[in-house]
Amino acid sequence: MKFLCILSFCTCFANLFSQNSIDANIPDKLAAYSIHTVEITIKKGPISSFSKYQLDVPPNVIVKEGISKDGNFSFENRRAKLVWVDSPKGDDFTVTMILAVGNATGQAMFEHRYYYIDGDTKKEIADGPMYVEFTPGTPSKEYNDVLEAKTTTPVVSTPTVAKVVSQPTIAPVKTEDPNKINTTIPVTPNSNTTIPATTVSTSQPNSSNTTPVSLPEIKEYRVQIASMATKPNLSKYTNLGKITVIEENGMYKVLAGGFKTKEEAVKKMEELKTQGYNGFVACFVNGVKVK
């Protein structure tokens, strides 16, 4: 009986921790110059504290941000990271990353891990290396477009936006105190009383001192589906909804949609793929594309 109780306890203990796992659906074969959206499913249990997911990739593979669940994404030195100050809610969640495979050949290995804080202890969930075979391929427009939005450093603050010429910021007027006038009262000769200089406060509700005007930040996400040297014929895109065209570095960029969240834009991007359009999500702040 004692042996059975111990065995039952060990089984329950093992089942408790076997629930924690990570899985990435990276294909066994990847063609050179191809784009793949990889889904990563993380089963973490009730942990809600700081956590981090990292994916190490072989040479000639670039990783771009997909659906991050409010995580801070970065890619540097062949390692992609997603960092959460507070882990996504729920016992498990799914994020995505976009793989851009360059001129790669032969066999290679991907590795990934998930780190989290349990109380005062740092723990990790690891899944064995994933081996893939790179097959021949040819450069494509889709591959070149994705490379244009390559991210190499973490985004930890609001991106710098080009200066908006039509709405300049008004510089503040330097003054000691616009509501005070220093008045010196002269002293009559032979007077034994010294009257010090006084400060008379006057109310000036319509003061010329202007508080700097800060422009509100309006962020929008669009899906870039084409890049060409000549101005595009928009009639071929009439079935895609809202379409905008911008000129950038001598090239015309065709963009679909206009969304408040990146998740909505990624969903649109996946929908467009089913219609034969391969693109990527671009961010605009106050109408200006953020590099």
* Domain annotation covers residue 85: yes
Number of domains in the chain: 2
Cross-strand partners of 96:
39
Q: Which of 252, 218, 251, 259 is nearest to 237 (CA)?
A: 252
CA distances from 34 to 78, 198, 215, 265 (A): 17, 78, 40, 21
Residues of the chain predicted below pLDDT 50: 1-18, 150-171, 173-176, 178, 180-189, 191, 193-195, 197-205, 207-208
CATH classification of the domain holding 272: 3.30.70.1070
pTM for the model: 0.47
* Domain annotation covers residue 206: no
Cα–Cα distance between 84 and 80 in angstroms, integer? 14
CATH classification of the domain holding 116: 2.60.40.10
Residue that terminates a domain, selected from 92, 123, 139:
139
* Domain annotation covers residue 170: no
pLDDT at 178: 47
For residue 180, how far is the Cα from the chain centroid? Answer: 48
pLDDT at 126: 87
Q: Which of 94, 91, 93 is nearest to 47 (CA)?
A: 91
Based on the fold, state whether residues 32 and 123 are members of the same structural domain.
yes
* Domain annotation covers residue 250: yes
pLDDT at 158: 39
pLDDT at 110: 94
* Domain annotation covers residue 33: yes
Residue that terminates a domain, selected from 139, 174, 197:
139
* Domain annotation covers residue 3: no
Q: Domain limits at 85?
A: 18-139
Residue that terminates a domain, selected from 86, 117, 139:
139
pLDDT at 211: 54
* Amino acid (one-letter) located at 181: I
Cross-strand partners of 248:
251
Question: What's the pLDDT tens digit per position in 8-34?
Answer: 444 444 434 447 899 999 999 999 999
Based on the fold, state whether residues 130 and 225 are members of the same structural domain.
no
Based on the fold, state whether residues 26 and 125 are members of the same structural domain.
yes
Based on the fold, state whether residues 135 and 46 are members of the same structural domain.
yes
Cα–Cα distance between 97 and 56 in angstroms, integer? 12
Cα–Cα distance between 88 and 91 in angstroms, integer? 9
* Domain annotation covers residue 153: no
Neighbours of 226 (CB within 10 A): 20
CA atoms within 13 A on the CB side of 1: 0
